[in-house]
């Protein structure tokens, strides 16, 4: 009904009433009014998602993103019916909206709230999965697509299209991962799968550049080294840029001490610097996701401790809220867009082919991921002496399963490759778009629904607790945590307990990551914190006695 | 330099590197890359504004908006020079950006943080200024513009254009007012001038509709009544919509008690409901500014007390930060856009005429405002028996002066009336645009710089203190206020002190607004708070003892 109103509205009045001018621009005003109608409906749907998501909180299957996806699908049906089968969405899908506005707050918040110790302890495994794993998956999916789709006569697809399919479907969707894995319940799984999702963004950029500049059918050894070099260059520059932006914000806030005058200024500078780091990465053709993720990590380690207590509470929850709204927005949008009739029209005459393509893609995703999770986990386990630190087979299955979801990132990339400004006229392209939508919906809904129960089945809570050092895993979030102390105590352990000095070579060899951590702590306390602030190194601590008592303690290496 | 880069960039690479696809859409990618360059520069400038604004905090002349304006102007010069005199801004001015994204958070935050008691005590005076005053000012400026500009041979301007000039320049800019007047230092001035700025948005809508539907040269008595009726209809529906949205959010949060599960959900629902109220007002051709302002007031009176303590801190500062960034954005943009060479080219051959038009407009603004502030203050004083409550002559001068600024709202309206998508080819229109820019810059900078010292001159702090019940007027914001108690204690006085029952008729007549306040309190306590929550009526009060101790006090009528 509302969406049909555009024509009616034109006769109601040429303008929003807010502006004095615009008396002679009726057509402009009409399209503006239509966009206001859309925005109203969209914001109202977001509110509905929050309320319904809250009511379904206790459900063991649902999560907020699937709720939003279903509400989006239902709304899409209503819009489709009321518009007489013309349209099913409120906005035309825009990659800009997605990559420039919705994705950065989600990834930044993930970096800001991540359990740093858990993340860096598994750092090598994460990079292995994100770099080598994604490359393996890309190769398998591309190779499979070339061989199978060419025989199926899907349409006029070129080599570039097949490689794009490989790149689109080889990347884990970090936004989906955030939805189904809980950092408190399964910290190891979360840090591995989500970390992989962040790192593989850099891999995607490298693959994309390789597809453009190399002849992938005849790759030489020097080309391969070139690619590996590219990956490390990109990975390191992106990380350094993110960390640099975070450190700059910490330094500026520590030096100028904004809080003296205004909390708002501190919060504003944190938001703007984080966003600037993402945009700078885009400017220099780096991986924005990796940059903003590390910016979030550095900000939570240094900057966050330099601001007033009010700013701390505000940033913690404001970033989480922004991320939450962006996630809902994405899933609601994907649900609504899935029914867009224009693309389905091409497929109408051959529904079997579309279903076939979707099933093959899903199969390739399953196989491609399986081909790297298990071998790489085995490799990773070889480097670990301690039995407790190895990735068990059950955990490997979960890592494989939890990373199968393909979400809005895949959608955005598929739109980018196979449409021009959201429209397509080629049959092959239309089939690829509808298949991507099918894969995204199926994997998000089915794999997403099954993940939670699967985690519970394979890693029962009691075992979970003892193995993974999670703190109070099943209680609802807000009651567990006091006002400020819910920044997990492990991420930045009390620095002042007596330390096991790793003097013996055996200890050094047995626990290399702990040794790195030990020297990092030393360096951090001696050089970084005095310059950039951080816990216990702020000039003025506004009334949090717990923070001051931390001063005289010694860094603790393990928990 | 950076802005020139667009052509170079096209050869550097066709894409941002983030997306896999887009291999064959070079032109699109180039414009995207240029917009990324612009956004980087803009975000970096916003950061610079915050840092420089902080360093100039102690200055008695400057304020953050003027800093942003100057930085914008300087950047405009740099861009102009480096682009070889072609361009001076990073984005094309968009009213949508301004009215749909930047303005709502500013006005909502003003409503959320306003001292409610002060505001409602002066409510009749505010409405008088905002409705009758704006109408008087509109008449004088339009009449003056018609008579003077026609003789000056400015260009082909029609009656509609002259009336638009009246509407554009009759409205006080509430964003500028927020910058120069301090709620804590001069509460009466702030509530009168800012309140007027909010109410006159409704007046503008009525005038706009009148200009469209009536023949203003021959207005009859019934037309006049019709207009007055329109104003009250618009004023009441907008207020009711805003209050309704606020109450709905309070009810939903109280019933579902989101905080039980997640603080983020509470904050998200508050943001989304507030924004929804603004967009709904736009949808129904009401005054969005009035709606979102009252939504802010209701949310701070009910909703804010229903959420967890963490949400309270977060919303208070997150809303303020959003508003702060939006304000900086607007002033930075206005400064950058002021030098846009396209419009100045038209004026080059007759610089005298542009200066003349600007001076006449400034004069008309000064006269138009003077013509209603002094008579209406006199009228308002007649209704007040108590000598202390009357508006003194010095205060009248300040009300006149502080409302003279014309800012981004005027710019947006002028662009709307005199350009088409930011461009114009008519000489008359170009002169009006450049004159508007001149008036905006001159009034914001000169009037803005003089306001602070003028306030200090006419209302010395000591007098200020005794007359206006301001609390600690000169100390910087963050030090004065403890974590949560800076929501001024007067706005929601303790509800349970023994009350001065206004039994005698004399008291009733002498203090009508106090009587209204008394009955409102009774109604609020008996019906509203039990349903919608609010201070002292929330199921679970998270450890703020100060809030409970307020309970046993008596509402104090004057200070």
pLDDT tens digits along B436-483: 888 988 988 888 888 888 888 887 765 444 344 333 333 333 333 333
Assess whether pLDDT exceeds 70 at residue A308.
yes
How many whole angstroms separate alpha carbon A163 and alpha carbon B17?
15
DSSP B307: S
Residue A9 has a pLDDT of: 32
Is residue B391 over pLDDT 50? Answer: yes
Say how far apart CA B263 and CA B311 lie, in whole Å. 6
B16: chain A residues, CB-CB within 8 Å? 99, 282, 285
Whether A131 and A315 have beta carbons less than 8 Å apart is answered as no
Residue B315 and residue A314: Cα distance in Å, rounded? 8
Of A54, A212, A261, the CB nearest to B477: A261
Give the distance, in angstroms, between the CA of residue B171 and the centroid of all CA atoms in the same chain: 11
- A6 vs B51, residue with greater confidence: B51
Q: Cβ atoms within 10 A of the Cβ of A153, count?
A: 8
Backbone CA torsion sign across B232, B235, B236, B237: positive
Distance from CA of A554 to the nearest CA of B (A): 31
**pLDDT classification of A487: cutoffs 50, 70, 90:** very low
Q: Which of A311-325, B3-17, B476-490 has the lowest mean pLDDT?
A: B3-17
Across the interface, whether the CB atoms of B477 and A204 are under 8 A apart is answered no
Which of the pair, B521 or B298, is modelled with greater confidence?
A: B298
Distance from CA of B478 to the nearest CA of A (A): 6
CA distance A104 to chain B (A): 12
Smallest CA–CA distance, residue A286 to chain B, in Å, is 7
pLDDT number for residue B363: 93
The Cα B242–Cα A39 span in angstroms is: 17
pLDDT of residue A421: 60
What's the average model confidence in pLDDT over A64-86?
84
Task: With beta carbons under 8 A apart, name residues in chain B contacting A406.
Answer: none
Whether residue B287 and residue A17 make contact (CB cut-off 8 A), yes or no, is yes
Provide ipTM, 2 decimals: 0.80
Q: Average per-residue pLDDT in chain A?
A: 75
pLDDT confidence of B422, banded at 50, 70, 90? low
CB contact under 8 A, B17 and A287: yes
A residues 173-212 closer than 8 Å to B (CB): 201, 204-205, 207-209, 211-212
pLDDT tens figures, B145-179 = 888 888 877 777 777 788 888 888 887 777 777 77
For residue range B203-253, what is the model confidence (pLDDT) as tens digits?
Answer: 877 776 677 666 666 667 887 788 888 888 888 999 999 999 999 999 998
Interface of A with B in 76-95 (CB under 8 A): 95
Residues of chain A by 3-state class (helix, strand, coil), percent to 5: 75, 0, 25
**Taking the CA atoms of chain B, what radius of gyration do you get in angstroms?**
25
Residue A37 has phi, psi (to 5 degrees) of -60, -45
Residues contacting A508, CB < 8 A, separation 6+: A502, A515
Which chain A residues have a beta carbon less than 8 Å from that of B212? Answer: 23
User: Which of residues B68 and A177 earns the better pLDDT score?
Assistant: B68
User: Which of the residues A49, A321, A406, A482 would you substitute to probe the B interface, choosing the one with the greatest number of B C-beta atoms within 10 Å?
Assistant: A321
Highest mean pLDDT among A143-152, A343-352, A367-376, B401-410: A367-376
pLDDT beyond 70 at B335 = yes
Reduced to 3 states (helix: H, G, I; strand: E, B; else coil), residue B423 is: strand
Q: How many CB atoms lie within 10 A of CB B516?
A: 13
Chain mean pLDDT for chain B: 75
Q: What was the pLDDT predicted at A124?
A: 86
**Residues 383-422 of chain B whose Cβ lies under 8 A from any Cβ of chain A:** 412-418, 420
Which range among A160-169, A508-517, B51-60, B522-531 shows the weakest confidence by mean pLDDT?
A508-517
A134 touches chain B (CB under 8 A): no
Which of B295, B331, B324 is CA-nearest to residue A311? B324
| Residue of B51, B261, B263 lying closest to A54 (CB–CB) | B261
Q: Does residue A415 or residue B511 have the better pLDDT? A: A415
Chain A CB contacts of B310 under 8 Å are 313, 317, 478, 483
Please tell me the least confidently modeled range out of A6-15, A247-256, A354-363.
A6-15
Identify the pLDDT of residue B494. Answer: 33
Residues in chain A with CB shorter than 8 Å from the CB of B416 are 19-22
Interface test with B, best of A2, A3, A18, A58 (most B CBs within 10 A): A18
Residues in A closer than 8 angstroms to B317, CB to CB, are 263-264, 267, 310-311, 314, 318
Q: Would you say residue A523 has pLDDT above 70?
A: yes
**By 3-state DSSP, what share of chain B in percent is helix, strand and coil, each rounded to 5?**
75, 0, 25
Give the minimum alpha-carbon distance from B322 to chain A in angstroms, rounded to a whole number.
8
Question: Looking at the predicted structure, is the pLDDT value of residue A439 above 50?
Answer: yes
Q: Tokens representing B500?
A: 């001065």
% chain A with pLDDT above 90: 18
**Short-list A256, A274, A278, CA closest to A265:** A256
What is the predicted pLDDT for the residue at A23? 33
| Lowest-confidence pick of A227-241, A355-369, A455-469 | A455-469
For residues B295 and B249, what is the distance between their CA atoms, to the nearest angstrom? 10
Average pLDDT over residues B191-197: 86
Among A36, A51, A207, select the one facing B283 at the smallest CB separation: A36
Distance CA A228, CA B170 (A): 65
Phi, psi of B496 (to 5 degrees): -125, 15
Taking the Cβ of residue A61 and every Cβ of chain B, the question of whether any pair is shorter than 8 Å is answered with no
Dihedral pair phi/psi, residue B117, rounded to 5° = -65, -45
Q: Residue ranges of the alpha helices (H) in A214-257?
A: 221-256
For the cut 90, the answer to whether the pLDDT of residue B272 exceeds it is yes
B44 and A276: CB-CB below 8 Å?
Answer: yes
pLDDT at position B180 is: 79
Give the pLDDT band (50/70/90) at residue A462. Answer: low
Count of CB pairs separated by less than 8 Å, A with B: 269
Q: Are A293 and A198 in contact (CB under 8 A)?
A: yes
**Hey, CA dihedral for A130, A131, A135, A136, is it positive or negative?**
negative
Cα separation, A231 vs A477, in Å, equals 38
Q: Which residue has the higher pLDDT, B54 or B467?
A: B54
Give the per-residue pLDDT at A376. Answer: 92
Q: Does A275 touch chain B (CB under 8 A)?
A: yes
For residues A201 and A207, give the distance between their C-alpha atoms in angstroms, rounded to a whole number. Answer: 10
Q: What is the pLDDT of residues A164-187, one digit of tens each?
A: 888 888 877 777 777 778 888 788
| Of B488 and B389, more confident | B389
Give the mean model confidence (pLDDT) for residues B69-76. 89
Provide mean pLDDT across the span B345-351: 70
Write out chain A residues lying below 8 Å of B54, CB-based. 256, 258, 261-262, 265
pLDDT at residue B437, rounded to an integer: 87
The residue-averaged pLDDT of B342-369 equals 82
Asked if residue A428 lies in contact with residue A157, where contact means CB atoms within 8 angstroms, the answer is: yes
Distant-in-sequence, close-in-space partners of A387: CB < 8 Å, separation ≥ 6: none
| Cα separation, B146 vs B50, whole angstroms | 42
Q: Tell me the range of A7-16, A82-91, B482-491 where mean pLDDT is highest.
A: A82-91
- Confidence band (pLDDT; 50, 70, 90) for B366? very high
């Amino acid at each position: 009904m509302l969406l049909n109103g555009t024509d009616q509205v034109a006769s109601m009045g040429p303008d929003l009433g807010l502006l004095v001018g615009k008396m002679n621009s009726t057509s402009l005003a009409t399209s503006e009014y239509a966009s206001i109608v859309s925005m109203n409906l969209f914001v109202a749907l977001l509110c509905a998602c929050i309320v319904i998501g809250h009511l379904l909180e206790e459900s063991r299957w649902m999560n907020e993103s699937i709720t939003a996806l279903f509400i989006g699908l239902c709304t899409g049906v209503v819009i489709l019916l009321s518009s007489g089968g013309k349209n099913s969405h409120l906005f035309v899908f825009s990659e800009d909206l997605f990559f420039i506005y919705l994705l950065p707050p989600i990834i930044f918040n993930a970096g800001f709230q991540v359990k740093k110790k858990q993340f860096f302890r598994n750092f090598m495994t994460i990079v292995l999965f994100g770099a080598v794993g994604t490359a393996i998956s890309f190769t398998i999916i591309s190779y499979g697509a070339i061989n199978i789709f060419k025989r199926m006569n899907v349409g006029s697809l070129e080599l570039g299209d097949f490689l794009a399919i490989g790149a689109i479907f080889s990347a884990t969707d970090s936004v989906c991962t955030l939805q189904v894995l809980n950092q408190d319940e399964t910290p190891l799984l979360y840090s591995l799968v989500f970390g992989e999702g962040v790192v593989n963004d850099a891999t995607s950029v490298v693959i994309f550049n390789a597809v453009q500049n190399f002849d992938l059918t005849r790759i030489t050894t020097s080309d391969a080294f070139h690619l590996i070099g590219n990956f490390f260059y990109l990975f390191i520059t992106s990380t350094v840029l993110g960390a640099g932006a975070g450190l700059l914000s910490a330094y500026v806030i520590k030096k100028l001490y904004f809080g003296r005058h205004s909390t708002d200024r501190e919060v504003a500078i944190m938001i703007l610097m984080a966003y600037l780091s993402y945009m700078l990465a885009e400017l220099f053709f780096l991986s924005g996701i990796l940059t903003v993720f590390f910016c979030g990590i550095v900000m939570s380690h240094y900057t966050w401790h330099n601001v007033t207590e009010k700013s701390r509470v505000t940033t913690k929850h404001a970033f989480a809220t922004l991320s939450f709204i962006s996630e809902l927005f994405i899933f609601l949008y994907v649900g609504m867009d899935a029914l867009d009739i224009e693309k389905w029209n091409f497929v109408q005459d051959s529904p079997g082919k579309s279903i076939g393509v979707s099933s093959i893609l899903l199969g390739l995703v399953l196989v491609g991921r399986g081909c790297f999770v298990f071998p790489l986990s085995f490799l990773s386990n070889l480097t670990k002496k301690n039995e407790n630190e190895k990735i068990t087979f059950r955990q490997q299955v979960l890592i494989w399963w939890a990373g199968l979801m393909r979400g809005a990132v895949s959608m955005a990339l598929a739109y980018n490759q196979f449409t021009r400004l959201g429209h397509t006229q080629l049959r092959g392209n239309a089939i690829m778009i509808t298949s991507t939508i099918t894969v995204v919906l199926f994997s998000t809904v089915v794999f997403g629904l099954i993940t939670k129960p699967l985690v519970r089945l394979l890693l029962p809570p009691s075992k979970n607790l003892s193995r993974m050092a999670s703190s109070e895993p099943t209680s609802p979030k807000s009651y567990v945590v006091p006002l400020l102390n819910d920044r997990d105590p492990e991420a930045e352990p009390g620095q002042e307990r007596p330390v096991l000095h790793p003097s013996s070579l055996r200890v050094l060899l047995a626990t290399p990551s702990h040794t790195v951590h030990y020297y990092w702590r030393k360096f951090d306390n001696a050089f970084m914190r005095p310059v950039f602030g951080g816990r216990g190194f702020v000039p003025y601590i506004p009334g949090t006695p717990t923070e001051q008592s931390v001063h005289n303690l010694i860094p603790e290496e393990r928990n």
